[in-house]
Amino acid sequence: MKNIIVLGSTGSIGTSTLDVVARLGAPYRILALSANRNTELFLKQVHQFKPRFAAVLDPASYEILKPQMPKGTQLLPPEMESLTFLASLPSAHLVVNGLVGAVGFQPLVAAIKAGKTIALANKEPMVMAGQTVMQECQRWNATIIPVDSEPSAIFQCMEGTDAHSYHRTHESISRVFLTASGGPFARRKNALSTVTPAEALNHPRWKMGKKITIDSATLMNKGFEAIEIMNLFHLPQEKVQIVIHPQSLIHSAVEYVDGAILAEMSEPDMRIPIQYAVTYPKRMPSPVQPLNLFQAQKLEFFEPDFERFPCLELALAAQAKGGIFPAVLSAADEVAVEAFLKEQIKFTDIPKLIYSVLKQTLSRPGRVTLHQAAEADAWGREQARVHLAEKKYKKVVL
């Protein structure tokens, strides 16, 4: 039996994970589920998968669900401790972290300290304190298997090579090509200042949650992924080459020192990397149609446009500065994306708001501790709200 915890089960990653687990059947079994506000879907999932434990963080959702929980499922109180409890359950074999934003940080840390294997989609904690997270994995004998399609592709392209262990320096690797679809505005000629939330939520290739879809439109998502893979695979920034690849068929590639490039290709469907993380190191049949190379016709590759998409440069600059900068970047981005979705700021104000907070961030020497990263997240969030209220965001100077 392989007992699986799914945190964020009602989200895009969560529902795809449950689809994968339902199709795989025994020995894969759902031990616990967590969500926030989508009580209707959550209740359906609880009835279908009959988990031993369930949790929602939203107190109003807890009150709705409490009288409806089936016998055999214990609904935990609506508090962060319930998520950390689930992430460290002794009988759990795999923790799937499909939470969005910094809310996934504490559950990730709890899973690591319990020595778990973690299928990680929630990239923000890896942005906030990725190097320290990897160090803690070593200390507690925990393993992270990336779920995000690009880090998963890189993980797969490193398999069977001397670079596969996270803890080695990758002398055999000369470059990693981190691919990006470019989002909905890669080829847009009009100014980006008039972009509406509805337009930005219309991603050409992937159907995802709102936060990551907006991050994909600003290219902040690619910046986050660049930070994530540097931390996951101990790669220096100069070995990471971001490539706009509109067809989204190559999910990333690794170039070795002998000139060989290994790429991972498939139809863009998250169930492939999710399933690989669930069944790793085994490969199992999946419901996704294999890629038809004859229909694919062309594969295009472009350099990213840093000027039109300043979030990318902001992310790389924050990572280069190190310390608390990436945690502040991630926190300010969460506030900025929320403000854009509520139509409080323009699309082009997102990088300006983030920059205004980063500009006043003081650097601290050395690697951040987990505690400092959580503090920096809270500080960055608060500052972003103040800058938003006082309209302190004017421009980005890079």
Residues of this chain that bind ligand NAP (CB under 6 A): 8-14, 35-38, 57, 98-100, 103, 121-124, 148, 206, 208-209, 211-212, 270
* Minimum CB–partner distance for residue 57 and ligand NAP (Å): 4
| CA nearest to 130, candidates 241, 276, 6, 233 | 233
* Minimum CB–partner distance for residue 68 and ligand NAP (Å): 15
| CA nearest to 345, candidates 354, 337, 355 | 337
* Minimum CB–partner distance for residue 34 and ligand NAP (Å): 6
| CA nearest to 239, candidates 324, 145, 154 | 154
* Minimum CB–partner distance for residue 295 and ligand NAP (Å): 23
Chain residue whose CB lies nearest ligand NAP: 11
* Lookup: tokens for 30: 């759902």
Where residue 259 falls (left for φ over 0; alpha for ψ -120 to 50; beta otherwise) is left
- Nearest residue (CB) to ligand NAP, 126 versus 376: 126
Q: How far apart are CA 321 and CA 315, in angstroms?
A: 10
* Minimum CB–partner distance for residue 39 and ligand NAP (Å): 8
Q: How far apart are CA 43 and CA 70, in angstroms?
A: 9
* Minimum CB–partner distance for residue 38 and ligand NAP (Å): 3
The full DSSP string for 165-184 is STTS--TTEEEEEEEE---T
* Minimum CB–partner distance for residue 210 and ligand NAP (Å): 6
* Minimum CB–partner distance for residue 49 and ligand NAP (Å): 14
Q: How far apart are CA 372 and CA 378, in angstroms?
A: 10
Strands (E), the chain: 2-7, 28-35, 53-56, 74-76, 94-97, 117-120, 143-146, 173-180, 240-244, 250-256, 261-265
Please list the residues that pair with 97 across neighbouring strands: 7, 120
- Nearest residue (CB) to ligand NAP, 148 versus 377: 148
- Nearest residue (CB) to ligand NAP, 66 versus 391: 66
* Minimum CB–partner distance for residue 275 and ligand NAP (Å): 14
Q: How far apart are CA 232 and CA 21, in angstroms?
A: 25
Task: Report which DSSP code applies to 191.
Answer: -
How far, in whole angstroms, is CA 212 from its chain's centroid?
8
The answer to whether the CB of 41 falls within 8 A of the CB of 61 is no
Contacts from 316-320 at CB under 8 Å and sequence distance 24+?
316/223, 316/226, 316/237, 317/358, 317/398, 318/227, 318/358, 319/226, 319/227, 319/230, 319/237, 320/237
Q: How far apart are CA 134 and CA 50, in angstroms?
A: 33
- Nearest residue (CB) to ligand NAP, 43 versus 192: 43
* Minimum CB–partner distance for residue 41 and ligand NAP (Å): 7
- Nearest residue (CB) to ligand NAP, 13 versus 353: 13
